[in-house]
Amino acid sequence: MSDDTGEPEVELEARLEEQETFEPPESFVEQANVSDPDVYEEFEENWPDCWERAADLLSWDEEYDTVLEDGDAPFYEWFTGGELNASYNCLDRHVEEGAKNRAAIKWEGELGETRTYTYGDLLNEVEAFAAALRDLGVEEDDVVTLYMPMIPELPIAMLACARIGAPHSVVFAGFSADALATRMNSADSEYLVTCDGYYRRGDALNHKEKADKGLRGVENDVQTVVVDRLGDELTHFLGADAHDYGELVAEHEGASVEPVSRDAEDMLFLMYTSGTTGEPKGVKHTTGGYLAYTAWTSHAVLDVKPEDTYWCTADIGWITGHSYIVYGPLALGTTTMMYEGTPDYPEKDRLWDLVEKNRVDTFYTAPTAIRSFMKWGTEYPERHDLSSLRLLGTVGEPINPRAWKWYYKHIGDEECPIVDTWWQTETGGMMITTLPAINEMKPGSAGPPLPGGMMITTLPAINEMKPGSAGPPLPGVDARVVDANGDEVEAGQAGYVTVNNPWPGMLRTLYQNDERFIEEYWTEYSDEEADEWVYFPEDGAKIDEDDYITILGRVDDVINVSGHRLGTMEIESAVVGVEGIAEAAVVGGDHDVKGEAVYVYAIPEDGYEDRHAELEEKAMEAVLDSIGPIARPEEIVFTPELPKTRSGKIMRRLLENIASGDELGDTSTLRNPEIVDEIADQVAGD
Ligand code: WTA
């Protein structure tokens, strides 16, 4: 995304406008967890044993024998022979070390009510709910589905599952009933924890009704637990087969549940994400590698300390919330914040009010949120004392330099470093970002890959911040930008991101689908014969003169709407399911706040040509029903034809350009070039 993609107009001083690089203040560097620039070299020289540094942040029931087992690549295994429990690491050990009364979770509901769980409280409730889950029949390795919004019972249920060795599969609360059913069926899940409802902009939403509708599409007999979030606001829907969370916890109050020792490679959770095909992918993360990686990156990149109040504004229904609201921060024993509602309720200063009230140290959010803040104006942050902030972060999509600088000035008061962290559901944790406290010159040479070696010697010359560019790969991570042949591109050139060595937080496979795992991530650039495995994240990027990586966005059929990852094929299959629609193409078009927005181009069937309004309504409904409001199309355009190549392939690129209002370029290779102007006129006419 470049600076001229029509983002909200904001004033920036000329001085900031011109400044290209930024360094962290000395005061930050002095107190940082990781500030020694040698960390890059140390990781490179000791790879893969360098990852012991991550594993050392955890408490192991059984020490591991091997850091990396690569005999069956790309089915890598990490910390093999080791045993541990994630809930023990996130709770018990902090309590044992005297942090019983430290706040673990500080929660604020949208209506303003607050709850604080100390580490002691959290452990008690997790144990009670773990005991209840066991009583319901949950056994080790049973997948428990959690379909809840941002309420404390969500992380409690996650940790209760982890305690008894039952992998959780969290389904984002904004997803539809159908999406819930698809995920439960795919994971063969027999347990669901959900809630009656939650608040959005002051309204109580009925969530249980959606869950019930989803359950009608689930093949298994399901045991359901319902959290009473709304009290008397709505009748507390329980239904005949559901259990009340509050009652279960009260019945098991004071229970002591021994944390189950899990093998490092045992599954901690499943997380469904969108890919190129219509079917969501069940990304499998493990106990040892994932927890070590999220703890390490929380420590090194987010500079999390036990005495901090740390806030990541993501929803726990996505990977960012798993890794950087729940597991990473709690493994480090810090105070992690959760907010239930929207940032503009009751007013547009809600987040800044929370920062001020809770004296938040670190604030981690998405560029789409920053673009909204910019649009709303500086008066909202200016109403509040944000001086407690020490570090800022972004994740989820590229951040344009203007938004970066606005964030730096108006939220960080030019005192807080910003980490722009590139990673994915599949990577488990951050992969490409500057380390916030390292700003010394590095004498490393930028050279070619070592002969036969897995690591390259392209050390960043300096680890300063460059707005718009995520930065160098983290120590120990061999991310590159390559051309179609897999050769590294030259400075200034664009190509594709690859990761040329494994890392502990990586996904291990797609749930019960090893074949698709290889196909999706390990075929494009790997050399199977030579047993050389290269991970392909399907992102485009540019490599800068100083080896910084600027991410350009997805190169597959995944779009990024407000930091949410959506598969265009999933949306397409919903639309073509509508009676009267013959064919459809879904693409992402530029949007000044959302980053990208969903555009649908559809061909009506014979006899439906004059019924656009009716088809539009049905198509809209189909998308909401199959995915949810996050996928709501910005525009649905009806056309007698879609632009196609002579071989009959839809020219999606062209449709993207139309949606974004960009130049259309050469259309002469199309079978039906005349249709392009017709479609473009329709979009522009709206
Ligand atoms: C995009 C979210 C640019 C990227 C953690 C990736 C980013 C996809 C950044 C993964 C960033 C994430 N700069 N793009 N800092 N971080 N992305 O799985 O396209 O929801 O492939 O994980 O988000 O989305 P996911």
In the numeric block, which tokens belong to residue 173? Answer: 């609360």
Determine which of 165-174, 290-299, 353-362, 442-451 has the lowest per-residue pLDDT on average: 442-451
Look at residue 7 and tell me whether its pLDDT is greater than 60.
no
- The angle formed by the CA atoms of residues 402, 460 and 50, to the nearest 5 degrees, is 120
Residue 65: which residues within 8 A CB-CB, separation 6 or more? 80, 81, 82
Q: What percent of the chain has pLDDT over 90?
A: 86
pLDDT at 132: 98
441 pLDDT tier (thresholds 50, 70, 90): very low
Amino acid at 24: P
pLDDT at 238: 66
With tokens 């983002």, the residue in question is: 7
**Average pLDDT of span 129-138:** 98
22 with 158, same domain? Answer: no
With tokens 């190509």, the residue in question is: 495
State if residue 172 touches ligand 1 by the CB under 6 angstroms criterion. Answer: no
Cα distance between residue 25 and residue 649, in whole Å: 53
pLDDT at 457: 43
**Average pLDDT of span 511-534:** 96
**Average pLDDT of span 96-101:** 98
**Average pLDDT of span 660-679:** 88
624 CB-side CA count, 13 A: 10
Look at residue 460 and tell me whether its pLDDT is greater than 50.
no
CATH number of the domain at 352, please: 3.40.50.12780
391 with 406, same domain? Answer: yes
- What are the CA-CA distances from residue 387 to residues 32, 329, 414, 418, 581 (Å)? 18, 22, 11, 15, 55
Look at residue 455 and tell me whether its pLDDT is greater than 90.
no
State if residue 537 touches ligand 1 by the CB under 6 angstroms criterion. Answer: yes
Q: Provide DSSP, 555-574.
A: SSSEEEETTEEEEHHHHHHH
Beta-strand ranges (E) seen in 473-579 are: 479-482, 494-499, 509-510, 539-543, 549-554, 558-561, 564-567
Cα distance between residue 404 and residue 28, in whole Å: 19
In the numeric block, which tokens belong to residue 270? Answer: 């499943």
Query: Would you call the peptide bond into 167 cis, given omega within 30 degrees of 0 as the criterion?
Result: no
Specify the residue with its C-alpha closest to ligand 1, atom 23: 396
31 CB-side CA count, 13 A: 14
Query: Would you call the peptide bond into 502 cis, given omega within 30 degrees of 0 as the criterion?
Result: no
Q: Is 182 helix (H, G, I), strand (E, B) or coil?
A: helix
pLDDT at 683: 86
Q: Is 300 helix (H, G, I), strand (E, B) or coil?
A: helix
Judge whether 265 lies within some domain.
no
315 with 188, same domain? Answer: no
Cα distance between residue 528 and residue 666, in whole Å: 38
State if residue 558 touches ligand 1 by the CB under 6 angstroms criterion. Answer: no
Judge whether 151 lies within some domain.
yes
State if residue 294 touches ligand 1 by the CB under 6 angstroms criterion. Answer: no
Closest CA to 96 of 259, 328, 338: 259
Judge whether 347 lies within some domain.
yes
Which ranges of 467-513 would DSSP assign to H, the alpha helix? Answer: none
pLDDT per residue over 13-61, tens digit each?
899 999 989 999 999 999 999 999 899 999 999 999 999 999 999 999 9
**Average pLDDT of span 76-103:** 98
Domain boundary among 532, 552, 572: 552
pLDDT per residue over 547-591, tens digit each?
899 999 999 999 999 989 999 999 999 999 999 999 999 999 999
- The angle formed by the CA atoms of residues 215, 155 and 157, to the nearest 5 degrees, is 50
632 with 658, same domain? Answer: yes
pTM reported for the whole predicted model: 0.94
**Average pLDDT of span 494-505:** 98
315 with 228, same domain? Answer: no
Look at residue 397 and tell me whether its pLDDT is greater than 90.
yes
User: Three-state SS across 62-107?
Assistant: ECCCEEEECCCCCCCEEEECCEECHHHHHHHHHHHHHHCCCEEEEE
Judge whether 276 lies within some domain.
no
Look at residue 10 and tell me whether its pLDDT is greater than 80.
no
Look at residue 462 and tell me whether its pLDDT is greater than 90.
no
Q: At residue 382, what are phi and psi to the nearest 5 degrees? A: -65, -20
- What are the CA-CA distances from residue 431 to residues 208, 266, 498, 537, 643 (Å)? 37, 23, 11, 11, 38
332 with 410, same domain? Answer: yes
- What are the CA-CA distances from residue 87 to residues 158, 301, 316 (Å)? 9, 23, 16
pLDDT at 456: 42
Query: Parallel, antiparallel, or unpaired for β 242-244 and 77-80?
Result: unpaired
665 with 532, same domain? Answer: no
pLDDT per residue over 463-487, tens digit each?
789 999 999 999 999 999 999 999 9
Specify the residue with its C-alpha closest to ligand 1, atom 12: 396
pLDDT per residue over 297-317, tens digit each?
999 999 999 999 999 999 999
357 with 386, same domain? Answer: yes
325 pLDDT tier (thresholds 50, 70, 90): very high
pLDDT at 461: 42
Give the mutation target among 427, 506, 539 for probing the ligand 1 site: most ligand atoms within 8 A of CB: 539
Q: Is 480 helix (H, G, I), strand (E, B) or coil?
A: strand
199 alpha carbon, distance to own chain's centre? 22
9 pLDDT tier (thresholds 50, 70, 90): low
Give the mutation target among 399, 431, 498, 551 for probing the ligand 1 site: most ligand atoms within 8 A of CB: 551
Judge whether 271 lies within some domain.
no
Which 8-state DSSP code applies to residue 50?
G
With tokens 């392909």, the residue in question is: 536
**Average pLDDT of span 439-455:** 44
In the numeric block, which tokens belong to residue 249? Answer: 């916890």
Question: What's the CA-to-centroid distance between 653 and ligand 1, angstroms?
Answer: 21
493 alpha carbon, distance to own chain's centre? 27
Judge whether 232 lies within some domain.
yes
Query: Would you call the peptide bond into 629 cis, given omega within 30 degrees of 0 as the criterion?
Result: no
ipTM: 1.00
Amino acid at 494: A
Question: What's the CA-to-centroid distance between 397 and ligand 1, angstroms?
Answer: 5
Question: What's the CA-to-centroid distance between 5 and ligand 1, angstroms?
Answer: 19
Give the mutation target among 319, 422, 554 for probing the ligand 1 site: most ligand atoms within 8 A of CB: 422
Instruction: Count CB neighbours of 137 within 10 A.
Output: 10
Domain boundary among 536, 552, 568: 552
Specify the residue with its C-alpha closest to ligand 1, atom 24: 424
467 with 508, same domain? Answer: yes
320 CB-side CA count, 13 A: 21
Q: Is 23 helix (H, G, I), strand (E, B) or coil?
A: coil
686 pLDDT tier (thresholds 50, 70, 90): low
- Count of domains in the chain? 3
State if residue 398 touches ligand 1 by the CB under 6 angstroms criterion. Answer: yes
Q: Provide DSSP, 460-478.
A: -S---B-TT--BSBPTT--
pLDDT per residue over 192-219, tens digit each?
999 999 999 999 999 999 999 999 999 9
581 alpha carbon, distance to own chain's centre? 33
Amino acid at 587: V
pLDDT at 237: 63
291, 263 Cβ separation under 8 angstroms: no
Look at residue 3 and tell me whether its pLDDT is greater than 80.
no
Judge whether 647 lies within some domain.
yes
Judge whether 418 lies within some domain.
yes
356 with 497, same domain? Answer: yes
525 with 575, same domain? Answer: no
Question: What's the CA-to-centroid distance between 499 and ligand 1, angstroms?
Answer: 15
In the numeric block, which tokens belong to residue 195? Answer: 């809630």
Instruction: Count CB neighbours of 346 within 10 A.
Output: 14
Domain boundary among 510, 534, 552: 552
**Average pLDDT of span 272-282:** 88
Strand partners, 432: 422, 473
Strand partners, 15: none
Look at residue 636 and tell me whether its pLDDT is greater than 80.
yes
CATH number of the domain at 630, please: 3.30.300.30
Determine which of 116-130, 173-187, 254-268, 650-664 has the lowest per-residue pLDDT on average: 650-664
pLDDT at 450: 44
pLDDT at 458: 43
Domain limits for position 370: 1-85+286-447+459-476+488-552
Instruction: Count CB neighbours of 185 within 10 A.
Output: 13
Query: Parallel, antiparallel, or unpaired for β 197-200 and 203-206?
Result: antiparallel
CATH number of the domain at 193, please: 3.40.50.980
State if residue 419 touches ligand 1 by the CB under 6 angstroms criterion. Answer: no
169 with 295, same domain? Answer: no
